Amino acid sequence: MRLMNWVREGQIWGSVFRHGVPRDRRTRAMAILSNVFLHLHPVAIRKSGIRLSFTWCMGGLTFFLFLVEVVTGVLLMFYYRPTVEYAYFDIEGFRAHVTLGLQRELHRWGAHAMIITIWLHMLRVFLTGSYKPPREFNWSVGVILLVLTLLLSFTGYLLPWDQLAMWAITVGSNMARATPFVGYEGPGAAFIQIGGVPLVHAGSDARFGLLAGTFVGPATLLRFYVLHCVFLPVVVTVLLAVHFWRVRKDGGISGPL
Protein backbone atom coordinates (compact mmCIF):
# COMPACT_ATOMS: atom_id res chain seq x y z
CA MET A 1 0.00 0.00 0.00
CA ARG A 2 2.80 2.36 0.95
CA LEU A 3 4.69 1.30 -2.17
CA MET A 4 1.59 2.00 -4.27
CA ASN A 5 1.27 5.44 -2.73
CA TRP A 6 4.95 6.10 -3.34
CA VAL A 7 4.56 5.16 -7.01
CA ARG A 8 1.47 7.28 -7.39
CA GLU A 9 3.08 10.34 -5.91
CA GLY A 10 6.23 10.00 -7.98
CA GLN A 11 7.06 11.98 -11.12
CA ILE A 12 6.63 9.09 -13.59
CA TRP A 13 3.09 8.21 -12.57
CA GLY A 14 2.19 11.89 -12.37
CA SER A 15 3.47 12.53 -15.89
CA VAL A 16 1.27 9.74 -17.33
CA PHE A 17 -1.90 10.38 -15.31
CA ARG A 18 -2.15 14.11 -14.81
CA HIS A 19 -4.93 13.91 -12.25
CA GLY A 20 -5.03 12.53 -8.72
CA VAL A 21 -6.48 9.20 -7.71
CA PRO A 22 -10.07 9.17 -9.04
CA ARG A 23 -11.86 9.37 -5.73
CA ASP A 24 -13.98 12.52 -5.97
CA ARG A 25 -16.12 14.02 -8.73
CA ARG A 26 -13.42 16.27 -10.09
CA THR A 27 -10.67 13.68 -10.39
CA ARG A 28 -13.12 11.10 -11.76
CA ALA A 29 -14.14 13.54 -14.47
CA MET A 30 -10.47 14.21 -15.15
CA ALA A 31 -9.81 10.47 -15.47
CA ILE A 32 -12.12 10.45 -18.49
CA LEU A 33 -11.24 13.83 -19.95
CA SER A 34 -7.47 13.48 -19.83
CA ASN A 35 -7.29 9.99 -21.35
CA VAL A 36 -7.36 9.74 -25.12
CA PHE A 37 -9.07 6.31 -25.10
CA LEU A 38 -11.58 6.91 -22.32
CA HIS A 39 -12.25 10.27 -23.91
CA LEU A 40 -14.61 8.38 -26.26
CA HIS A 41 -16.99 8.47 -23.29
CA PRO A 42 -18.73 11.45 -21.81
CA VAL A 43 -17.92 12.28 -18.19
CA ALA A 44 -21.41 11.47 -16.94
CA ILE A 45 -24.00 9.23 -18.52
CA ARG A 46 -27.70 8.42 -18.11
CA LYS A 47 -28.21 5.86 -15.41
CA SER A 48 -30.61 3.87 -17.61
CA GLY A 49 -28.07 3.84 -20.44
CA ILE A 50 -25.50 1.71 -18.64
CA ARG A 51 -27.92 -1.01 -17.55
CA LEU A 52 -26.83 -4.23 -19.22
CA SER A 53 -30.45 -5.13 -19.95
CA PHE A 54 -30.75 -1.95 -22.02
CA THR A 55 -27.63 -2.13 -24.21
CA TRP A 56 -26.79 -5.85 -23.93
CA CYS A 57 -23.22 -4.50 -24.25
CA MET A 58 -23.32 -5.73 -27.85
CA GLY A 59 -21.85 -2.62 -29.50
CA GLY A 60 -18.96 -2.60 -27.05
CA LEU A 61 -18.35 -6.31 -27.48
CA THR A 62 -18.35 -5.94 -31.25
CA PHE A 63 -15.63 -3.32 -30.98
CA PHE A 64 -13.71 -5.46 -28.51
CA LEU A 65 -13.93 -8.47 -30.83
CA PHE A 66 -12.68 -6.25 -33.66
CA LEU A 67 -9.62 -5.50 -31.53
CA VAL A 68 -9.19 -9.22 -30.80
CA GLU A 69 -9.30 -9.86 -34.54
CA VAL A 70 -6.68 -7.20 -35.19
CA VAL A 71 -4.29 -8.55 -32.57
CA THR A 72 -4.70 -12.25 -33.43
CA GLY A 73 -4.71 -11.35 -37.12
CA VAL A 74 -1.33 -9.65 -36.85
CA LEU A 75 0.01 -12.67 -34.95
CA LEU A 76 -1.24 -14.93 -37.74
CA MET A 77 0.35 -12.75 -40.41
CA PHE A 78 3.77 -13.55 -38.93
CA TYR A 79 3.35 -17.20 -39.94
CA TYR A 80 1.28 -17.04 -43.09
CA ARG A 81 2.30 -16.62 -46.73
CA PRO A 82 -0.57 -15.84 -49.13
CA THR A 83 0.55 -18.08 -51.98
CA VAL A 84 -0.98 -21.30 -53.18
CA GLU A 85 2.23 -23.24 -52.42
CA TYR A 86 2.42 -22.25 -48.76
CA ALA A 87 -0.94 -20.99 -47.51
CA TYR A 88 -2.52 -24.30 -46.55
CA PHE A 89 0.61 -25.79 -44.99
CA ASP A 90 1.38 -22.63 -43.03
CA ILE A 91 -2.05 -22.92 -41.45
CA GLU A 92 -1.73 -26.67 -40.97
CA GLY A 93 1.65 -26.39 -39.30
CA PHE A 94 0.59 -23.48 -37.16
CA ARG A 95 -1.06 -25.44 -34.38
CA ALA A 96 1.73 -27.99 -34.23
CA HIS A 97 4.71 -25.66 -34.32
CA VAL A 98 3.71 -22.46 -32.61
CA THR A 99 3.80 -22.31 -28.81
CA LEU A 100 0.42 -21.32 -27.35
CA GLY A 101 -0.86 -21.49 -30.92
CA LEU A 102 -4.42 -20.56 -30.19
CA GLN A 103 -4.42 -17.52 -32.43
CA ARG A 104 -6.19 -19.21 -35.30
CA GLU A 105 -8.94 -20.53 -33.05
CA LEU A 106 -9.33 -17.12 -31.39
CA HIS A 107 -9.37 -15.43 -34.79
CA ARG A 108 -11.92 -17.77 -36.32
CA TRP A 109 -14.33 -18.04 -33.39
CA GLY A 110 -13.89 -14.35 -32.67
CA ALA A 111 -14.95 -13.59 -36.24
CA HIS A 112 -18.06 -15.77 -35.90
CA ALA A 113 -18.84 -14.15 -32.56
CA MET A 114 -18.36 -10.66 -34.02
CA ILE A 115 -20.96 -11.30 -36.70
CA ILE A 116 -23.42 -12.45 -34.05
CA THR A 117 -22.73 -9.50 -31.76
CA ILE A 118 -22.94 -6.91 -34.55
CA TRP A 119 -26.33 -8.28 -35.63
CA LEU A 120 -27.55 -8.25 -32.03
CA HIS A 121 -26.27 -4.70 -31.61
CA MET A 122 -28.35 -3.73 -34.63
CA LEU A 123 -31.37 -5.58 -33.22
CA ARG A 124 -31.02 -3.74 -29.91
CA VAL A 125 -30.69 -0.36 -31.59
CA PHE A 126 -33.79 -1.11 -33.65
CA LEU A 127 -35.92 -2.40 -30.78
CA THR A 128 -35.15 0.64 -28.65
CA GLY A 129 -35.92 2.96 -31.58
CA SER A 130 -32.44 4.43 -31.24
CA TYR A 131 -32.15 5.02 -34.98
CA LYS A 132 -34.79 7.74 -34.83
CA PRO A 133 -33.83 11.41 -35.13
CA PRO A 134 -31.25 12.71 -34.39
CA ARG A 135 -29.42 9.38 -34.90
CA GLU A 136 -30.49 8.53 -38.49
CA PHE A 137 -27.06 9.09 -40.01
CA ASN A 138 -25.26 7.01 -37.42
CA TRP A 139 -27.60 4.10 -38.16
CA SER A 140 -26.53 4.34 -41.80
CA VAL A 141 -22.86 4.30 -40.81
CA GLY A 142 -23.63 1.25 -38.68
CA VAL A 143 -25.23 -0.55 -41.63
CA ILE A 144 -22.10 0.09 -43.71
CA LEU A 145 -19.97 -1.22 -40.85
CA LEU A 146 -22.13 -4.35 -40.75
CA VAL A 147 -21.59 -4.91 -44.47
CA LEU A 148 -17.84 -4.36 -44.07
CA THR A 149 -17.76 -6.85 -41.19
CA LEU A 150 -19.41 -9.45 -43.40
CA LEU A 151 -16.92 -8.68 -46.19
CA LEU A 152 -14.00 -8.97 -43.76
CA SER A 153 -15.26 -12.36 -42.72
CA PHE A 154 -15.88 -13.38 -46.33
CA THR A 155 -12.39 -12.39 -47.51
CA GLY A 156 -10.82 -14.13 -44.50
CA TYR A 157 -12.74 -17.30 -45.28
CA LEU A 158 -10.52 -17.97 -48.32
CA LEU A 159 -7.15 -17.62 -46.63
CA PRO A 160 -6.76 -21.16 -45.12
CA TRP A 161 -6.96 -22.36 -48.74
CA ASP A 162 -8.71 -25.61 -47.90
CA GLN A 163 -11.69 -27.18 -49.66
CA LEU A 164 -14.18 -25.34 -47.44
CA ALA A 165 -12.53 -21.99 -48.17
CA MET A 166 -12.18 -22.40 -51.90
CA TRP A 167 -15.67 -23.68 -52.54
CA ALA A 168 -17.41 -21.28 -50.21
CA ILE A 169 -15.76 -18.39 -52.07
CA THR A 170 -16.58 -20.02 -55.41
CA VAL A 171 -20.25 -20.27 -54.45
CA GLY A 172 -20.24 -16.77 -52.95
CA SER A 173 -18.56 -15.05 -55.87
CA ASN A 174 -20.41 -16.85 -58.66
CA MET A 175 -23.29 -14.49 -58.04
CA ALA A 176 -21.15 -11.55 -59.15
CA ARG A 177 -21.11 -12.73 -62.76
CA ALA A 178 -24.88 -12.19 -62.84
CA THR A 179 -24.68 -8.53 -61.81
CA PRO A 180 -26.98 -6.51 -64.07
CA PHE A 181 -24.96 -4.78 -66.81
CA VAL A 182 -21.49 -5.52 -65.39
CA GLY A 183 -21.64 -9.30 -65.03
CA TYR A 184 -21.43 -11.32 -68.22
CA GLU A 185 -24.40 -13.49 -67.32
CA GLY A 186 -26.42 -10.61 -65.94
CA PRO A 187 -29.38 -8.92 -67.59
CA GLY A 188 -28.37 -6.01 -69.79
CA ALA A 189 -24.75 -7.06 -70.23
CA ALA A 190 -25.34 -7.86 -73.89
CA PHE A 191 -26.26 -4.22 -74.56
CA ILE A 192 -22.87 -2.94 -73.45
CA GLN A 193 -20.89 -3.30 -76.63
CA ILE A 194 -19.07 -1.20 -79.20
CA GLY A 195 -19.69 -2.08 -82.83
CA GLY A 196 -20.81 -5.60 -81.99
CA VAL A 197 -17.83 -6.32 -79.72
CA PRO A 198 -19.14 -7.09 -76.24
CA LEU A 199 -17.32 -5.16 -73.51
CA VAL A 200 -18.61 -7.32 -70.67
CA HIS A 201 -17.37 -10.88 -70.94
CA ALA A 202 -15.97 -13.52 -68.59
CA GLY A 203 -12.58 -11.79 -68.65
CA SER A 204 -13.76 -8.30 -67.82
CA ASP A 205 -16.88 -8.50 -65.67
CA ALA A 206 -17.60 -7.91 -62.00
CA ARG A 207 -16.58 -11.40 -60.91
CA PHE A 208 -13.30 -11.06 -62.79
CA GLY A 209 -12.62 -7.89 -60.84
CA LEU A 210 -13.44 -9.61 -57.56
CA LEU A 211 -11.43 -12.78 -58.17
CA ALA A 212 -8.66 -11.35 -60.35
CA GLY A 213 -9.40 -14.19 -62.76
CA THR A 214 -12.21 -16.34 -64.02
CA PHE A 215 -11.90 -18.81 -61.14
CA VAL A 216 -10.65 -18.84 -57.54
CA GLY A 217 -6.91 -19.07 -58.04
CA PRO A 218 -3.53 -17.72 -56.85
CA ALA A 219 -4.37 -14.13 -57.79
CA THR A 220 -7.63 -14.38 -55.84
CA LEU A 221 -5.76 -15.52 -52.74
CA LEU A 222 -3.42 -12.53 -52.88
CA ARG A 223 -6.27 -10.13 -53.60
CA PHE A 224 -8.40 -11.40 -50.72
CA TYR A 225 -5.35 -11.31 -48.44
CA VAL A 226 -4.70 -7.66 -49.18
CA LEU A 227 -8.37 -6.76 -48.84
CA HIS A 228 -8.63 -8.72 -45.61
CA CYS A 229 -5.46 -7.51 -43.93
CA VAL A 230 -5.10 -3.94 -45.19
CA PHE A 231 -7.91 -2.36 -47.11
CA LEU A 232 -11.04 -3.43 -45.20
CA PRO A 233 -9.57 -3.01 -41.67
CA VAL A 234 -8.45 0.54 -42.54
CA VAL A 235 -11.89 1.47 -43.86
CA VAL A 236 -13.57 -0.11 -40.83
CA THR A 237 -11.27 1.80 -38.49
CA VAL A 238 -12.11 5.11 -40.13
CA LEU A 239 -15.85 4.40 -40.05
CA LEU A 240 -15.61 3.25 -36.43
CA ALA A 241 -14.16 6.63 -35.55
CA VAL A 242 -17.09 8.29 -37.33
CA HIS A 243 -19.55 5.93 -35.62
CA PHE A 244 -18.25 6.60 -32.10
CA TRP A 245 -17.88 10.32 -32.71
CA ARG A 246 -21.47 10.53 -33.88
CA VAL A 247 -22.75 8.58 -30.87
CA ARG A 248 -21.41 11.42 -28.75
CA LYS A 249 -22.46 14.22 -31.10
CA ASP A 250 -25.99 12.87 -31.50
CA GLY A 251 -26.63 13.02 -27.79
CA GLY A 252 -24.89 9.99 -26.35
CA ILE A 253 -26.62 6.76 -25.46
CA SER A 254 -30.29 6.91 -26.32
CA GLY A 255 -33.08 7.26 -23.79
CA PRO A 256 -36.64 8.55 -23.63
CA LEU A 257 -36.76 12.14 -24.84
Nearer to other proteins, 6 or 33 (CB): 33
- Beta-bridged to residue 193, according to DSSP, are 198
**76: helix, strand or coil:** helix
Residue 220 to residue 209: CA distance in whole angstroms = 10
Stretch 29-48 residues interacting with other proteins (CB under 8 A):
29, 31-32, 38, 41-48
**Per CB under 8 A, does 97 bind other proteins?**
no
Minimum CB–partner distance for residue 223 and other proteins (Å): 15
Residue 17 to residue 15: CA distance in whole angstroms = 6
CB 252 within 8 A of CB 49: yes
**Per CB under 8 A, does 28 bind other proteins?**
yes
Residue 41 to residue 34: CA distance in whole angstroms = 11
Minimum CB–partner distance for residue 242 and other proteins (Å): 14
**Per CB under 8 A, does 20 bind other proteins?**
no
- Beta-bridged to residue 197, according to DSSP, are 194
Query: Which stretch, 8-16, 54-62, 226-234, 237-245, contacts other proteins (CB under 8 A)?
Result: 54-62
Residue 228 to residue 210: CA distance in whole angstroms = 13
Nearer to other proteins, 11 or 238 (CB): 238
Looking at 187, 209, 230, 234, which residue binds other proteins (CB under 8 A)?
Answer: 187
Looking at 98, 115, 148, 222, which residue binds other proteins (CB under 8 A)?
Answer: 115
